[in-house]
């Protein structure tokens, strides 16, 4: 057995231990018919990414589960990898090239892609290396990338399958369009934020009815140029006579119809809604129902595209100002009212997104959504906590077709080819040489790439070798748990669910464990703009990875946000020091009897108590972890180690360890080592570095705590009688300490302690526990008796269940000072009694106060009266 360093220094051990784990291949998982598999796929961080608190929390939770299952004997695979993050990476590379004076277009597609791959080689592993510092025990030998050869093969396979099934099509629909990046973007990349804006109320003249108008209100007056109707609710009596009539569209020479549609909320605004099918997703659906034309009035850079119009070529907000001015001059602007509303912005460049009808590739979602809904309703898929079921179902039950094409170069290029002669579309893995329709040989591949989420939707099975029927896929798929934040439930989780069912016939996982966001100490979301982000690597450098991990899980409940406090990190570090110092103490004493062994029958009451407590702890923690209550499990381990083991048991056994003649010393040493090892194992998933260093120095039988067995509940370690006995002793000790504290008696001052009880069982408990009871109760001598005979009248007492503990007053305090203390207590109680009696004699209070409050005050009156009686008795005795 080696000796631990005097001071716990995480920086000195974490790096070397992680290298050891990597060298020994402890994280490696292989198909093993003798073991059950347990699989988690890591949500692939972007190759542009840097570790932030969200990553730290997400990966800590996954690591806890994988380490727990590994110790339970499962073949535990934590599948890691990174995402190519199409838009984010392309933006980064373009920025890098600009600094070098290089233009993307001049490089051409192939040249630009070379630069992207170079960028990936240089920066792509950065976040993975940072996850190493967190102690993440993923199987890094299996690390995958969403654009590696295998994942690319899977992407092409799925695209072709869905296309041939009729689920993928090319058509014109509303998409989120970023005018700066000039690409469609997914819902996941749109951030909705409340912004102060306006409602512009505009008159639309009724054709042929001079002086008559309908009034609409809009937050985007520039889109008026693309209106193709005004809609009213069919049940709105105010406008029934207008349905079917034509309106003159202001600032244009067009006329548009009034249509009736239930989409319109007649209670909101004026009850008349302008319909712009090419620039609003809801209007698009209304337009389809009424067969309205779709007029896209904008170029890709959000400038107005209406040749012949005075607004042609204007930037959208410039056009807005000009149009509002013109409407006012024409007398068609009724009013401008302030209005706060949610505005969608691109999360990368912060540009306001423009909904726009574009020719894009889409996936039909209606049929694929059905089995994903059924999976949840039949409880084959479960969310922890369950409240996220509603979000999942709401999104699936209102799903729209998914736009999967992006106007980017970095990403999976769409495997579609166009015949230059007849326009035929050929979808194929291999580059076609001849058009099957006309025989033409001039074919051009689609310029677009696929949405990043298209490839990450396949992550649970593409990383295991699909579409090939690999041994890994057969053994590790379906996976077990997906751990992710609530902010990407629909964007990623749902896409994995329907993709897994569609392509493999199986759910990709049975449980989704949802966590919240890590916020700052004021509850604000961490962001660059606020400057309140905290770098996990900074925390690790200062306090160690274990302290950070523990802080992130302490008090953490599934689905709930948490606040980050530096004070909590310090508390976690203090706990690590407590475990370290206790372990050093135990190891120094083990050296006195390194081969100490003990039969259960040789254990004392105290030994059996702590062993039984540790036994129950193993059962409780296992149950909590199986229910994904990671924070509750950690709190139980923390409370046991700090309070029961360190503050009570170690103090109980010190007299035995220091007495060379004590025949129970071997039992004490065996118990200390056994309970410490089991405690370290239960703590290991949370604090892997600390527990590994202590474990490997404490014993030589096993080379790593990581691959040791998880503690299991044992019937022969359950000692209810001894637990009851020690809890009785603890109650007595607490009573003694409370009395001494209230009297300001220093621990160094010993006093006789009398235990008086008519119950022989209680006296037997104290008889068998005299050695440690005397130490913990600061007793010079301990006397056990059935009555109060021989005990001085001035003895102070502490009452416990079925017994009273007495201590001679003169041995504890200066009598004059005690009289002074009791008089102050008498004065305090007199005031409390006056206050309570006054309240209870007040008719207004008694008639109006809740019954529970009245009962509470009556109970206080009774308590204070008893205390006053005791104080007066003591004063009488002392004087």
Cα 612 to chain centroid distance, Å, stands at 33
User: Residue 41 has what DSSP assignment?
Assistant: E
Q: Please choose, from the candidates 4, 1, 15, the residue with its C-alpha nearest in 3D space to the C-alpha of residue 540.
A: 15
**Residue pair 87/189 in contact by the 8 Å Cβ criterion:** yes
SS (H, E, C) 239-281: HCCCCCCEEECCCCCCEEEEEECCCCCCCCCCCEEEECCCCCH
Give CA–CA dist 651/642, Å, rounded: 12
SS (H, E, C) 497-563: HHHHHHHHCCCCCCEEEEECCEECCCCCECCCCCCCCCCHHHHHHHHCHHHHHHHHHCCCCCCCCEE
Report cis status (omega within 30 of 0) of the bond before 675: no
Give CA–CA dist 852/238, Å, rounded: 56
Secondary-structure percent of the chain, ordered helix, strand, coil, rounded to 5: 50, 20, 35
Could you report how far apart the first and last alpha carbons of the chain are, in Å?
Answer: 61
For 185, the 3-state DSSP assignment is strand
- Other beta carbons within 10 angstroms of residue 244's beta carbon come to 9
Give CA–CA dist 647/582, Å, rounded: 10
For residue 785, count CB atoms less than 10 angstroms from its CB and return exposed for 0-12, middle for 13-18, buried for 19 or more: middle
Q: Please choose, from the candidates 678, 651, 656, the residue with its C-alpha nearest in 3D space to the C-alpha of residue 669.
A: 656
Check the annotation: does 358 bind a ligand: no
For residue 99, count CB atoms less than 10 angstroms from its CB and return exposed for 0-12, middle for 13-18, buried for 19 or more: exposed
Strands (E), 364-440: 382-384, 402-403, 405-406, 416-419, 425-427
Q: Which H/E stretch holds residue 201?
A: strand 190-205
Q: Which residues are annotated as a binding site?
A: 528
Q: Which residues are annotated as a binding site for ATP?
A: 528
């Amino acid at each position: 057995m080696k000796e631990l360093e005097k001071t716990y220094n995480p920086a000195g051990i974490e790096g070397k231990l992680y290298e050891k784990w990597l060298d020994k291949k402890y994280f490696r998982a292989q198909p093993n018919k003798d073991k059950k598999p347990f699989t988690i796929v890591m949500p692939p961080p972007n190759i542009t990414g840097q570790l932030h608190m969200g990553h730290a929390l997400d990966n800590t939770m996954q690591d806890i589960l994988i380490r727990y299952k590994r110790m339970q004997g499962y073949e535990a695979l934590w599948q890691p990898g990174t995402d190519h993050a199409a838009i984010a990476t392309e933006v980064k590379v373009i920025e890098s090239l600009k600094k070098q004076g290089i233009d993307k277009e001049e490089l051409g597609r192939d040249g630009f892609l070379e630069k992207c791959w170079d960028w990936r080689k240089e920066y792509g592993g950065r976040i993975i290396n940072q996850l190493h510092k967190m102690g993440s025990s993923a199987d890094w030998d299996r690390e995958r990338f969403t654009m590696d050869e295998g994942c690319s093969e899977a992407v092409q396979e799925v695209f072709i399958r869905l296309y041939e099934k009729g689920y993928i099509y090319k058509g014109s629909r509303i998409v989120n369009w970023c005018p700066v990046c000039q690409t469609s973007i997914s819902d996941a990349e749109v951030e909705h934020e409340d912004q102060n804006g306006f409602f512009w109320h505009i008159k639309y003249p009724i054709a042929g009815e001079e002086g008559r108008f309908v009034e609409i209100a809009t937050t985007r007056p520039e889109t008026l140029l693309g209106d193709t109707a005004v809609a009213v609710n069919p049940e709105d009596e105010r406008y029934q006579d207008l349905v079917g009539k034509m309106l003159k569209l202001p600032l244009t020479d067009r006329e548009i119809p009034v249509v009736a549609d239930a989409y319109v909320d007649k209670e909101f605004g004026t009850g008349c809604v302008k319909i712009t099918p090419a620039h609003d997703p809801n209007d698009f659906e209304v337009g389809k129902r009424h067969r309205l034309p779709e007029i896209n009035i904008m170029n890709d850079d959000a400038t107005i595209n209406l040749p012949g119009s005075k607004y042609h070529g204007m930037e959208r907000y410039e056009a807005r100002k000009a149009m509002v001015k013109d409407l006012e001059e024409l007398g068609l602007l009724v009013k401008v009212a302030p209005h706060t509303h949610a505005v969608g912005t691109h999360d990368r460049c912060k540009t306001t997104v423009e909904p726009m009808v574009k020719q894009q590739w889409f996936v039909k979602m209606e049929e694929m959504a059905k089995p994903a809904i059924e999976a949840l309703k039949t409880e084959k898929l479960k969310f922890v906590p369950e409240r996220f079921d509603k979000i999942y179902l709401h999104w699936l039950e209102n799903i729209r077709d998914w736009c999967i094409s992006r106007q980017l170069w970095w990403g999976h290029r769409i495997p579609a080819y166009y015949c230059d002669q007849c326009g035929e579309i050929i979808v194929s893995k291999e580059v076609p040489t001849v058009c099957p329709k006309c025989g033409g040989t001039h074919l051009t591949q689609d310029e677009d790439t696929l949405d990043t989420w298209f490839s990450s939707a396949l992550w649970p099975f593409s990383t295991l070798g699909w579409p090939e029927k690999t041994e890994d896929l057969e053994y590790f798929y379906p996976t077990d748990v997906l751990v992710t934040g609530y902010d990407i439930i629909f964007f990623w989780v749902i896409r994995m669910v329907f993709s897994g069912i569609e392509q493999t016939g199986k759910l990709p996982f049975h449980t989704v464990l949802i966590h919240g966001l890590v916020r700052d100490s004021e509850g604000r979301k961490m962001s660059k703009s606020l400057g309140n982000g905290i770098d996990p690597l900074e925390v690790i450098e200062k306090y160690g990875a274990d302290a950070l991990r523990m802080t992130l899980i302490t008090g953490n409940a599934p689905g709930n946000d948490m606040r980050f406090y530096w004070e909590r990190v310090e508390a976690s570090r203090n706990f690590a020091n407590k475990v370290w110092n206790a372990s050093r103490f135990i190891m120094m004493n083990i050296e006195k009897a390194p081969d100490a062994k003990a039969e259960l029958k040789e254990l004392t009451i105290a030994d059996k108590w702590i062993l039984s407590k540790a036994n129950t702890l193993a059962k409780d923690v296992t149950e909590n972890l199986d229910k994904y209550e990671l924070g509750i499990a950690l709190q139980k381990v923390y409370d046991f180690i700090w309070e029961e083991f360190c503050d009570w048991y170690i103090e109980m056994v010190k007299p035995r360890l220091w007495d060379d003649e004590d025949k129970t010393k071997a039992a004490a040493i065996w118990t200390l080592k056994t309970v410490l090892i089991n405690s370290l194992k239960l703590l290991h998933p949370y604090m892997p570095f600390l527990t590994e260093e202590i474990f490997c120095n404490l014993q030589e039988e096993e080379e790593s705590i990581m691959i040791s067995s998880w503690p299991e509940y044992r019937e022969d370690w359950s000692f209810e009688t001894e637990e009851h006995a020690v809890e009785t002793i603890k109650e007595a000790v607490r009573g003694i300490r409370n009395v001494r504290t209230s009297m300001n008696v220093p621990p160094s001052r010993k006093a006789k302690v009398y235990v008086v009880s008519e119950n022989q069982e209680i006296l037997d408990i104290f008889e068998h526990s005299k050695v440690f009871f005397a130490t913990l109760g600061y007793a010079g001598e301990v006397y056990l008796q059935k009555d109060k005979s021989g005990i001085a009248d001035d003895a102070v007492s502490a009452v416990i269940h079925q017994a009273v503990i007495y201590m001679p007053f003169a041995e504890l305090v200066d009598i004059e000072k005690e009289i002074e203390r009791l008089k102050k207590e008498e004065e305090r109680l007199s005031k409390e009694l006056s206050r309570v009696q006054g309240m209870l004699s007040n008719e207004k209070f008694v008639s109006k106060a809740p019954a529970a409050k009245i009962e509470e005050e009556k109970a206080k009156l009774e308590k204070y009266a008893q205390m006053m009686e005791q104080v007066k008795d003591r004063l009488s005795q002392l004087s």
